[in-house]
Amino acid sequence: MSALTPRQEADAMADSMADSMADSKTGASALAPTTHSLPIALIRARETLLRELRPMLAEAGVSEPQWRILRVLIESGPCSVQGLAEAACLQPASVSRILQSMVERALVERVQDRENRRRQVVSVTAEGRALVTRFTPASREITDGFAERFGAERYASLIALLDAFISDCGPTEG
């Protein structure tokens, strides 16, 4: 039997989910089984990734949100606390608290915006950049391992599908 393409696998999964949802419905308010719940599947996938990343993060001495903040700042450059929260997928109140410990450790710096005195701009320091540089090979090895086990094409397709989902189903302007 030949292997299915990623598209065929996705179609088969969608058919299975539709059948399962139809079978489980007892009324308009029936929920899909948790095995077919996108929010739960995303959390399970996240935990699968983090289970392997956590030891590296512990060795680096940063939490997962701190690592995300460093990655965003290195990739995007200095930004506002609100912009950083959005880009790192964190709550603004959490970012403020997280940043305080990162400032104390000299991983980031926070300065008042010259144009808007109520706004703060956050940037990565040389120490923060060095930490990410030091642990990038370990991080890449872990994420490359997932791509290898899952299949490079399927991994790329998964990221593309999630990006399309966010683009198509995310907040609308207006």
- pTM for the model: 0.79
Lowest mean pLDDT among 22-31, 127-136, 147-156: 22-31
pLDDT value of residue 116? 78
Span 60-73, pLDDT tens digits: 999 999 999 999 99
pLDDT value of residue 1? 45
Burial level of 88, CB count in 10 A (0-12/13-18/19+)? Answer: buried
Region of residue 95 (phi > 0: left; psi between -120 and 50: alpha; otherwise: beta): alpha
CB of 64 closer than 8 Å to CB of 50 = yes
User: Could you give the count of Cα atoms lying within 13 Å of 161 in the half-sphere of its Cβ?
Assistant: 12
CB of 99 closer than 8 Å to CB of 110 = yes
